[in-house]
Structure formats: C-alpha cells, structure tokens
Amino acid sequence: MNEVIKAISDRYTARAFSGAVSIEDLQVVAEAGIASPSAYNKQQWQIVVITDHGLINELEVEGLENLKNNPATRAQYERIISRGGKLFYGASAVIVIAIPESDSEDSVASALLDCGIVVENMALAAHSLGLGNCICGLAKLAFSGENAQYFKQRLGFKESWNFGISLLLGVADLNSESGCPRKRTLDNSKITYV
Ligand SMILES: Cc1cc2nc3c(=O)[nH]c(=O)nc-3n(C[C@H](O)[C@H](O)[C@H](O)COP(=O)(O)O)c2cc1C
C-alpha cells in the first residue's frame, strides 16, 4: 500500500490528547491545508492556528455555555457533560478555518466544500506526522452566542468571515481508549460501479 493510501486508511479521530505539538509540525499541517484544491481556485479560506491554551480554554467554555443555554441543544450538552464535559479533549492546538459570509447559498456551500477538503488534507498531514487529530465542527458553538463577534476578533477573522470547521491537534493519549485507533468497518455497498 502506498503511503498516501495508508495515511487515508489509518487516520482516525482521537478524542484524548496529551503533550504538545511543535510549531514546525503545525506549520506543515497548516501548509497542507493551503495546498488544497478549491472551486475556481478561489482559495476562500483563512486558517488560524491557535496555540494559546488560555484562548483554547475560553473557546471551549464559551461553546459549552452556548450549548447549555440553547433549549434545542440542552440534551446534547448533558450528553457531553456526562462524557467528561470536553469539546476539545485537551488538544494542544486548534486550527480554525474561517470562510466568507455570503447571501448566496451556493457560495456558502462552495466555501464549506472547499473548507472540508482543507481540513481533511490537514488531518491527513497531521496523521502522517504522528499527531493525534480530530475534525471538530462543535467548535462552531463558540461563535454562535452573544460573544461571537468578540471571539471572531480574538482570532483575527476578516470582516464578515465566519467559522467553517476546525481541527484539534495533540499527541494522542494512547493510555485512554478515546485516544486510540478503533477498528473501522468500511461499507463497500456505498460504492457502485456503473
Ligand atoms: C465535518 C465533521 C465534523 C466533526 N465534528 C466533530 C466534533 O465536533 N466532535 C468530535 O468529537 N468529532 C467530530 N467529528 C469526527 C467524526 O465524529 C468522526 O470522523 C467519525 O465518527 C468517524 O470516525 P473516524 O474519524 O475515527 O473514522 C467530525 C467529523 C467531520 C467530518
């Protein structure tokens, strides 16, 4: 199996981290993100690498608070609390990808699609460097409440840009089941050849 296929099949979501990630590794991961293809080569993304643990903690607290305060997500909040109350699982770094706001649903869908490719490229790069990683959509919660603008500014989002997706990074904690790879069952029935 070649190295790319191996990285694709071995990559897994880690949900327990220990240890720090070097800035050099973070740079390699971020640069794998910006090497992604994009529709019309628009490259409509802004990649923010967060290593400030105080800020990561603030984002996590804000996200959980917004989850708790919304009646529609209260049950999800309770579930997360019963599983340890973590959105970021002790990640050493968080990379947030921001995308431009638009009135056009097609433009938002296109930017989100591009954003998904960026985050998967970064996840694969991280995995190939031996880093634990987790694509994290729930980080959006930090930008969903009344402090959304404050956090967008703290992260240096461009004017009218929004959260797209994020990637949690750290050394996967192999002493915890949540940090270990799980056996993945591939459903080949999803593929048809015509
Ligand atoms: C768009 C997207 C958003 C995700 N958001 C979260 C998240 O907020 N929290 C989390 O723990 N996992 C999140 N995941 C990880 C998925 O739960 C995970 O990929 C899936 O369970 C399959 O497991 P695997 O990545 O180990 O193959 C997300 C994955 C994707 C693609």
Classify residue 33: in a domain, yes or no: yes
Q: What is the CATH number of the domain that holds 68?
A: 3.40.109.10
Classify residue 180: in a domain, yes or no: no
The length of the chain in residues reads 194
Distance CA 5, CA 42 (A): 27
Classify residue 183: in a domain, yes or no: no
> Mapping DSSP to helix (H, G, I), strand (E, B) and coil, where does residue 71 land?
helix
Q: Is 127 in the pocket of ligand 1 (CB under 6 A)?
A: no
Classify residue 184: in a domain, yes or no: no
Tokens representing 54 are 């105080």
Q: Is 118 in the pocket of ligand 1 (CB under 6 A)?
A: no
Nearest CA to ligand 1 atom 29: 135
Tokens representing 61 are 């607290």
Nearest CA to ligand 1 atom 1: 137
Classify residue 194: in a domain, yes or no: no
Classify residue 123: in a domain, yes or no: yes
Nearest CA to ligand 1 atom 3: 137
User: In the chain, how many domains are there?
Assistant: 1
Q: Range of 21's domain?
A: 3-172
Compute the distance from residue 10 Cα to the ligand 1 centre, in Å.
15
The rounded mean pLDDT for the chain is 97
Residues of the chain with pLDDT below 50 are none
**pLDDT tens per residue, range 111-128:** 999 999 999 999 999 999
